[in-house]
Structure 1
Amino acid sequence: MASGTLELQGLNFNLTEEHLAVQEAARDFAQTELLPGVIERDNEAKFPAEQVRKMGELGFLGMMVSPEYGGGGMDTVSYVLAMEEISKVDASASVIMSVNNSLVCWGLEAFGTEEQKQKYLVPLATGERIGAFCLSEPEAGSDATSQHTTAEDKGDYYLLNGTKNWITNGNSSGTCLVIAQTDVAKKHRGINCLIVEKGTPGFTVGKKEDKMGIRSSDTHSLMFSDVKVPKENRIGDDGFGFKFAMSTLNGGRIGIAAQALGIASGAYELALKYAQERKAFGRQIFDHQAIQFKLAEMATKIEAARLLVFKAARLKDEHKDYVQAAAMAKLYASEVAMWVTTEAVQVHGGYGYVKEFHVERLMRDAKITQIYEGTSEIQKLVIARELIR
């Protein structure tokens, strides 16, 4: 058996009162603050600024950060529960939350210096600022080793040049973690991660991407032209950047798996409710076996995905190897999200194809979970490598 895997009976999936309280708070926030206007924000590709501000006030943007740095000090299971509830209603809001928690705050707390934590982590954890994780490039998506953004060592600072693509929170972020190549000869061992503040001379934000789904999250290209970044803004030792990125993405996959789970759960709940309200041939469509079979398979796949997501979260909380578990959770949950949302549209029939019933948006949102933070194909590679490690 691959390192890091455990028998399911070896894990405790019982939720504490604290877990249930977090789940309830996230569900209430999603229903009262996110649901009103979610269709309009999607139509207009409008960033949910007011809703994100409230997420920060409620502690949803720094859930796993130590209270010492302004965070909630919660475990990964709490984070997964909150992500699922928020994703049921608004996946655009949940990806903003995921990037800030999983990629930016976690990376800074795990690998940053005390000075970096005080200066950058505290405002990120409290929601005073939002963070962005800048890895992807025009020619470096799944192949993260092919970084064309360069960070030339100039002694006491780096000179940053290049372009980053598909950056979530690209325009709304105040703090960016930028992966760049310092020494091409060293390949992935010559990559660094630099903290770059918005407003630094030479740092510009490109156009907002017109996306199929998660439309109200802001996705931009970021350009760096002779941007001076102080040496003290490098995370870790020289050449640590690639390892930093891969370590951070491993945890990020749990967040996206939880997002996919939430999207699937939200679509299933809508389909189940609709099946009990809609009548055809003189009875509720739920009474037709064809619809019953669809809903039964939806519920089963969602439950299986939930177990994988919880397993990865528990392993991370127990400081055990969770690389394979996170990849499995992200792979399966994203596939389930795409399948369940498509079937939810089918259950709704023609109504599922219009915005008013929400499921068409959930279907559009689901697709990205198979792509970002490692495509489904990359997850399979990660899993395969772990099988023989």
Structure 2
Amino acid sequence: METKEKKDNMIRGGQFIVTETKAEDIFTPEDFSDEQKMMRDSVKEFVDREIWPKKEEFEKKNYDLTEEVMRKAGELGFLGVAVPEEYGGLGMDFVSTMLVCDYISGATGSFSTAFGAHTGIGTLPITLYGTEEQKKKYIPKLATGEWFGAYCLTEPGAGSDANSGKTKAVLSEDGTHYKITGQKMWISNAGFCDLFIVFARIEDDKNITGFIVEKDLENGISMGDEEKKLGIHSSSTRQVFFNETKVPVENILGERNGGFKIAMNALNVGRIKLAAACLDAQRRTISSAVQYANDRVQFNTPISKFGAIRSKLAEMATAAYAGEAASYRAAKNIEDRINARKEQGNSHQEAELKGVEEFAIECSILKVAVSEDIQNCSDEGIQIYGGMGFSADTPMESAWRDARIARIYEGTNEINRMLSVGMLVKKAMKGHVDFMGPAQAVADELTGIPSFDTPDFSELLSEEKDMIKKLKKVFLMVAGAAAQKFGTELEEHQQLLLASADILIEIYMAESAILRAEKSAKIKGKESQSVQIAMAKLKLYNAVEKINKKAKEGIISFAEGDEQKMMLMGLKRFTKYYNYPNIVELRNTIADRVVEDNSYKF
């Protein structure tokens, strides 16, 4: 009974848009346990010793260095944090696996990509879908770094449309093995991996099937040269060719025709882990930028004292703070769902699969938001460095190049934007989230007489939380009307979906920042958290401005006449502050702390 009650009270994925979340109900980086802090510090020490000092070498396409550092990470257990103990891993909780991915990924995109490809899409499919025999055979080697994994999904004609791959798997006459023939591209870790997760189609099956393929160059496997890439220079990226490569039938991963599901669920985990992998990159970029700004003197003044630079530092710090808040909020939601399923008797495999799948909307939101934040952060970092930022002798140039790929892999940001809204609508249709009910309530509110009373905003961040409620009404107004008008054809209106997704993303990120600041202030005191409160307010203001623009774009794209006028009036009402914040003052408050600390220390 207790377990059922706990499950009933747990938030569902996507439900944040129709419910009010309390600060005490979210997990934040300030809530890390002593064990998690020790793990974080161990990872940071490893990165500062093994990766950061060799950053220049990572830019020279030194694939051997990447492999060498990966093996050292394996020896310390970092490659097995998400692997159950019975298969040689550390069996850590989901938040802890996020934390390791976060802090191990900030120094260089080359190592970050190798780590993510191996621990995520290279290992996780076997952990979650493998038979007991497959897990015992392969996972211990992958968890310790004795072997490395790679993931072969993308083909020249199958990128975002992953299920359209042409790679074939033909069963041998004696039924003992399959012969796989096809071409895969953009395969991370291909140059030094020992095992491939390969997706191929058996006969004329509707869906692809997953296979575990050991790397044996004498078994019809060949590779192209290392790709010449904009960034992640020491991440091995090659094409892989299979020519009647023999794979034992017992190496089918999951079930026949089930590869597309494996691929999508692996990407869900990959998306939230990618967001985590962008966080420490932001921290290091901000810290490098402010250190340069404090040292760089122009007109007899450190440039960190100039308003133009201070504005950039404040915005960079605010985005990082919100990204941390949202990433760990979602990670704990997933962890709670996993634990609840285990309590109900689900296996580790099923519990983790369903736990992550439940929050696929949040995974897509985070992938988009944080990957774009690190790109903006590194771009502003270059600008703060000025001409030196364009030089390969400074860390900003490589940071900018490495950041660019994050908007492409694990599903492009355009695909993830459309997925976030599409999945929410599907959840509504299944009755998992009551979306259309609240949307209809907002539609009814538009025809009613608005209240002209000024609410009581005496409590901490109360006006900001009230604004979040109103912004949720904006999303329900736009997406609800669009869903009602276009029904199942909504997915064909991609630009409308993109606009709606941006509203959804901004709400989740801003709400997460506000809840984090509120929770910290209630525990540590309002005065000590004044900068965090300023970041929450600045993040919200930026969100309101973007939502206003995107909602207007969406409304005028499908509504006409009186309906359009009514919705535009509603938009104006729902995005209006009672007391506008002083944005320049907020930025200065944030910049003061960052400049004084000479780094990002929130």
TM range (shorter): over 0.9
Give the counterpart of 2:363 among 326, 345, 362. Answer: 326
Asked whether 1:266 is paired with 2:284, we answer: yes
Superposed, which structure 2 residues align to 1:366-377 within 5 Å?
366-377=403-414
User: What residue number does 2:418 align with?
Assistant: 381
- 2:105–2:277 CA contact under 8 A, matched in 1: yes
- 1:87–1:260 CA contact under 8 A, matched in 2: yes
Give the counterpart of 1:12 among 27, 33, 53. Answer: 27
User: What residue number does 1:195 align with?
Assistant: 212
Deviates more, 1:321-330 or 1:300-309: 300-309
The superposition leaves residues 139-182 of structure 1 with CA deviations (integer Å, 9 ceiling, x where unpaired) of: 11111011111111232211100010000001111011001111
The superposition leaves residues 229-276 of structure 1 with CA deviations (integer Å, 9 ceiling, x where unpaired) of: 111000112111111111111001112111222322221111111111
Q: CA deviation at 1:79?
A: 2.3
Partner Cα distance (1:91, 1:127) in 2: 19
Report runs of 4+ in structure 1 exceeding 6 Å deviation. Answer: none
Partner Cα distance (1:45, 1:378) in 2: 32
Give the counterpart of 1:257 among 258, 266, 275. Answer: 275
Amino acid at match of 1:361: S
Q: Secondary structure at the match of 2:238?
A: strand
Please state which structure has a larger fraction of its residues in strand: 1
Give the counterpart of 1:91 among 81, 105, 109. Answer: 109
Q: Secondary structure at the match of 1:222?
A: strand
Q: CA deviation at 1:349?
A: 0.7
User: What residue number does 1:242 align with?
Assistant: 260
Structure 2 unaligned residues grouped into runs of 5+: 1-10, 339-354, 427-602
Partner Cα distance (2:391, 2:364) in 1: 33
User: What residue number does 1:29 align with?
Assistant: 46
Q: CA deviation at 1:23?
A: 1.1
Asked whether 1:127 is paired with 2:148, we answer: no
Partner Cα distance (2:330, 2:215) in 1: 34
- 1:83–1:262 CA contact under 8 A, matched in 2: no
Give the counterpart of 2:383 among 337, 346, 349. Answer: 346
Instruction: State percent identity of aligned pairs.
Output: 37
The two structures have a TM-score, normalised by structure 1, of 0.96
Amino acid at match of 1:360: E
Q: CA deviation at 1:317?
A: 1.6
Distance 1:349 1:81, change over 3 A: same
Q: CA deviation at 1:5?
A: 3.7
Q: Aligned-pair RMSD on alpha carbons?
A: 1.5
Partner Cα distance (1:187, 1:180) in 2: 11
The superposition leaves residues 185-234 of structure 1 with CA deviations (integer Å, 9 ceiling, x where unpaired) of: x322xx11000011151011211101111110100110000111111000
Partner Cα distance (1:54, 1:3) in 2: 37
Structure 1 unaligned residues grouped into runs of 5+: none
Partner Cα distance (2:102, 2:35) in 1: 16
User: What residue number does 1:69 align with?
Assistant: 87
- 1:67–1:73 CA contact under 8 A, matched in 2: yes
Q: CA deviation at 1:45?
A: 4.4
Q: CA deviation at 1:81?
A: 2.0
The superposition leaves residues 67-116 of structure 1 with CA deviations (integer Å, 9 ceiling, x where unpaired) of: 11011111232222222222221221111111121212221111101110
Partner Cα distance (1:8, 1:83) in 2: 27
Q: CA deviation at 1:285?
A: 0.8
Please state which structure has a larger fraction of its residues in helix: 2
Distance 1:5 1:58, change over 3 A: farther
User: What residue number does 1:171 align with?
Assistant: 191
Partner Cα distance (2:34, 2:274) in 1: 24
Higher relative contact order (CA 8 A, sep 6+): 1
How many pairs does the alignment contain?
A: 386
Deviates more, 1:328-337 or 1:90-99: 90-99
- 1:308–1:328 CA contact under 8 A, matched in 2: no
Asked whether 1:107 is paired with 2:125, we answer: yes
Partner Cα distance (1:49, 1:272) in 2: 32
- 2:129–2:253 CA contact under 8 A, matched in 1: yes
Distance 1:51 1:3, change over 3 A: closer
Asked whether 1:59 is paired with 2:77, we answer: yes
